[in-house]
A and B are shown apart, each in its own frame.
Chain A
Amino acid sequence: MNLALRTPDPKKLLKGATGDWEVVVGMEVHAQVTSKSKLFSGASTEFGGAPNSHVSLVDAAMPGMLPVINAECVAQAVRTGLGLKAKINPVSVFDRKNYFYPDLPQGYQISQYKQPIVGEGEITVDLEGGETITVGIERLHLEQDAGKSVHDQHPTLSYVDLNRSGVALMEIVSRPDLRSAEEASAYLSKLRTILRYLGTCDGNMDEGSLRADVNVSVRRPGDPLGTRCEIKNVNSIRFVRQAVEAEARRQIGIIEDGGTIDQETRLFDPSKGETRSMRSKEEAHDYRYFPDPDLLPLELDEAWIASLAEGLPELPDAKKARFIAEYGLSAYDATVLVDEKATADFYEAAARGRDPKIVANWVTQELAFRLNKDGKGIEESPVSPEQIGAVVDLIADGTISGKIAKDLFDIVWSEGGDPRAIVEARGMKQVTDTGAIEKVVEEIIAANPEKVEQLKAKPTLAGWFVGQVMKASGGKANPQAVNDILKRKLGL
């Protein structure tokens, strides 16, 4: 078992009043399949339509309506399974999960119970500090999403919006291989990255495209698994971290006070930073699963699976390894760059024919900082890879200094345009003419005899002279030339 294989890491243990505790986390992630139409109907999956505008007769469970499987959703599930290095099951079965709820028109959800489309796989997760863990995937199955109950539109009545009803979800179930709140959030983040690379889920947590049910238990290091509680529908990576932390603390508190944990379903309240009970195990539904007689078992052709495998894009782990090998990047930079496929693509476009490390610095620092500040994604970046590349080129050929480059970047960011032309037009070129620099240096030395005197006792004051020269030259003097001339003139 995986469980026994991981030796408890003292750094990850939680301190309780009576000793250390290990938290054990497993996750069921619901990922909305990227597809034009729903899992069993032709209705649109587009987000944000007017209520009940994307509802077919099948989604509304009208009498006599029948589900017909959407082949693209099946392909997306297989692609995802392949991306998770998982076993693709040649035969899988759709079951009905029966329960009554107003946003579940059929009175059952079509899901896969005993025979899912994807079996065991794994995900490699990089943690802060360079640690890497492997998280087991137990299964992935396809199922229908439910509609949405709306309770705030009328004082006494509830409304139902069936736009989501029947949209395809992949439920991705991990093994209980996670050992901290950080690992749990890192796992979800990595899973999201893989799904987005594959193009099988947009990973948009704000729109509910990705949400996690988080199973949390605690135990003394080395003990068997404790009783778990399931925290339903956590809809951000940050909340996963907070929810695990809060739930583990809650459980430790109860056990240390002599109590026991009741297996139950809980909800995380981000405003209070705590979990609260939703329903107990006794209140759990008896879902009366049985194979859906309206659908034949799903049989997948080996050649078809192989063709999907061939069409898979390069995935983040492979890309990261390649960035390290091909561009000589640090593991950290590579990890940051591959986190979003769009960022990696941007980087590669900018790095082509240039110093890859310098380009990496620009993308992971200056660009990332500005994007983050303006709340923009890399796709919306006002600066193109070509523009970043041109800035880097201008530094490399000595046309501008690193400092001027930042000013130039700001101009390109806010005004656009060709960086080289901007440098020309605005006289931002670096001054490498040593005669001109010498003249400035001499003026500064002449104007500050007391500083020259102090310099003898305090050599670090050389930096002050560099600063004065740069200031006087409007930042355009070549710093290397300034240093050299100062050294010579001041006899350093």
Chain B
Amino acid sequence: MSALIDLTIAGIREGLARGDFSATELTQAYVDAIEAARPLNAFIVETPDKALAMAAESDRRIAAGTARPLEGVPLGIKDLFATEGIHTQACSNVLKGFEPPYESTVTSNLWADGAVMLGKLNMDEFAMGSSNETSAYGPVVNPWRMAGSNAPMTPGGSSGGSAAAVAARLCAGATATDTGGSIRQPAAFTGTVGIKPTYGRCSRWGIVAFASSLDQAGPIARDVRDAAILLKSMASVDAKDATSVDLPVPDYEAAIGQSVKGLRIGIPKEYRVEGMPEEIERLWQQGIAWLRDAGAEIVDISLPHTKYALPAYYIVAPAEASSNLARYDGVRFGLRQGGGDGIVDLYEKSRAAGFGREVKRRILIGTYVLSAGYYDAYYLQAQKVRTLIKRDFETVFAAGVDTILTPATPSAAFGLEAMATASPVEMYLNDVFTVTVNMAGLPGIAVPAGLDQKGLPLGLQLIGRPFDESTLFKVGKVIEDAAGHFSPERWW
């Protein structure tokens, strides 16, 4: 049955329609693959019974001729999404035992379209991390290894479980979220496609909040078409999320295969950062060449405030997080410790035991930058920078640039624990090419573009105009066609 798990979502759709296999057979193949891949630590909760029940319903629908757009497509769900009656902990101890009585809007949309739930995926605790090492469940192991080495590599983060599971064929696609690069960086590290749509495209309702003004859900998929298919189902306006946007969701798949002739592709000079490996530069030039060959027009552009994006991001995101995570107090749900000495004792002990180091670090930073006397110097200043970054993009788009091409990450995947002794800031530098997109609320896609000298995948990033995900899929498909597909060799 191994052939079944190699199918893309588009392939599953055709196969099920033709009756080549049943949704139940497909789901069973994934259930087996997940069981065999436990060393990857990608799934922290497996829900095979639920998956098979959903697959059986899909088979009934297919037989009745009432198949829905994602009928029988087995998906993995990042642990940040609330799933009714099923473990939802944002991979944090502070939410120990939490099973929400509600389902997130994004996952509800997916189930309504016929998708099948395989289980919950590992991630950095509260989506705070770039290596999946902050998870309370331990890190995910990247299915990719350096050539000739058994050293475990990071799948990136925070959606490391989603990226690894898709790359290792443990699910046909996965939900993920991106606050500063948490979809695109792991996608780049695993040879998968990940898109962070425009802020407001997907509802945030039922997604455990990290930084509300930056968080956005999106898919990680095997290829560009699958990402387009999944986003179509995930996206919606939602009366329960005031920041979701009431625009029709286009048929993204229709963009796949369209010509990029005459499109203007901006190349921002500020993304050539110091210390960037030469092979990243080469990859970027290769991407430029592919798009030029496909008929696109390449223009050099400037986004002058780029260098301020990362420091500003690490003020805004922790500030919002420090407030968003105040609700984890041991009173109503999740972990409760202490309390014998009163309510403050309960707060202190529950939060001390419940949150990991990185989460605590960010709560402290966020609390600090919002404090009286520091607010203007930090938070307000960061918001001003954010406005300038947004304006940088608006200026180049107004000048006729259709999409912007950059590297997705400053390096390929690194070894697990390689950053153990590094300063947190070094880890934060992973987000240098991706945070600007969140700060400006724009859509960004990471598409695999090649392998580095050690045989690890590298990705390119495309940044689009607000709500112009279609152009990203169109251009991304051209890169994908030129670069080819990349799959890890199975060792687990």
Chain A residues engaging chain B, CB cutoff 8 angstroms = 57, 60-69, 96, 98, 100, 102, 105-108, 158, 160, 286, 288-290, 293-296
Nearest B residue to A69, CB-CB: B242
Nearest A residue to B347, CB-CB: A100
Complex CA gap A160/B326 in Å reads 17
Q: A62-B100, A294-B243, A296-B243 are in contact. List 12 more A-B contacts (CB 8 A).
A: A63-B88, A63-B333, A64-B204, A64-B205, A96-B323, A106-B326, A108-B323, A288-B367, A289-B370, A290-B323, A294-B242, A296-B242
Minimum CB–CB distance for A99 against chain B, Å: 9
Complex CA gap A368/B308 in Å reads 71
Minimum CB–CB distance for B264 against chain A, Å: 32
> Which of B241, B333, B344 interacts with A66 by CB under 8 Å?
B241
> Which of B81, B90, B332 interacts with A61 by CB under 8 Å?
B332
Contact: A63 with B205, CB < 8 Å?
no
Chain B residues engaging chain A, CB cutoff 8 angstroms = 81-82, 88, 90, 95, 98, 100-102, 104, 204-209, 211-213, 239-243, 319-320, 322-323, 325-327, 329, 331-333, 343-344, 347, 367, 370-372, 375, 379
Complex CA gap A426/B212 in Å reads 77
Minimum CB–CB distance for B25 against chain A, Å: 34
Say whether, besides A66-B241, A160-B331, A293 and B205 are in contact (CB < 8 Å).
no
Minimum CB–CB distance for B158 against chain A, Å: 16
How many A-B residue contacts, CB cutoff 8 Å?
100
> Which of B100, B319, B331, B367 interacts with A105 by CB under 8 Å?
B331
Complex CA gap A138/B243 in Å reads 30
Complex CA gap A414/B356 in Å reads 72
Residues of B within 8 A of A286 (CB): 371-372
Nearest A residue to B327, CB-CB: A61
Complex CA gap A64/B78 in Å reads 13
Complex CA gap A158/B344 in Å reads 13
Contact: B242 with A63, CB < 8 Å?
no
> Which of A98, A102, A105, A296 interacts with B323 by CB under 8 Å?
A98
Say whether, besides A100-B329, A296-B243, A290 and B375 are in contact (CB < 8 Å).
yes
Contact: B211 with A105, CB < 8 Å?
no
Complex CA gap A106/B320 in Å reads 13
* Sample (11) of A-B pairs whose CB atoms are under 8 Å apart: A57-B101, A66-B243, A107-B323, A107-B325, A288-B322, A288-B323, A288-B375, A293-B212, A294-B212, A294-B242, A296-B243
Contact: B205 with A66, CB < 8 Å?
yes
Complex CA gap A394/B367 in Å reads 75
Residues of B within 8 A of A61 (CB): 327, 332
Complex CA gap A462/B208 in Å reads 91
Minimum CB–CB distance for A53 against chain B, Å: 16
Residues of A within 8 A of B323 (CB): 96, 98, 107-108, 288, 290
Minimum CB–CB distance for A96 against chain B, Å: 5
Complex CA gap A57/B101 in Å reads 9
Say whether, besides A98-B323, A107-B327, A160-B331, A64 and B208 are in contact (CB < 8 Å).
yes
Contact: B209 with A64, CB < 8 Å?
yes
> Which of A60, A65, A107, A108 interacts with B205 by CB under 8 Å?
A65
From B88, B204, B319, B326, residue with most partner A Cβ within 10 Å = B326
Residues of A within 8 A of B102 (CB): 57, 62, 64
Complex CA gap A96/B367 in Å reads 13
Residues of B within 8 A of A296 (CB): 242-243
Complex CA gap A191/B102 in Å reads 42
Residues of B within 8 A of A64 (CB): 81-82, 100, 102, 104, 204-209
Nearest B residue to A149, CB-CB: B343
Residues of B within 8 A of A158 (CB): 343
Complex CA gap A64/B205 in Å reads 6
Q: Which 7 A-B pairs have the closest CB atoms?
A: A107-B326, A293-B213, A293-B212, A288-B370, A61-B327, A64-B206, A63-B208
Minimum CB–CB distance for A285 against chain B, Å: 10
Contact: B329 with A67, CB < 8 Å?
no
From B95, B208, B209, B242, residue with most partner A Cβ within 10 Å = B242
Contact: B332 with A105, CB < 8 Å?
yes
Complex CA gap A286/B242 in Å reads 28
Complex CA gap A212/B359 in Å reads 39
Contact: A290 with B370, CB < 8 Å?
yes
Complex CA gap A314/B327 in Å reads 44
> Which of B206, B326, B375 interacts with A108 by CB under 8 Å?
B326
Residues of A within 8 A of B239 (CB): 68
Complex CA gap A294/B332 in Å reads 22
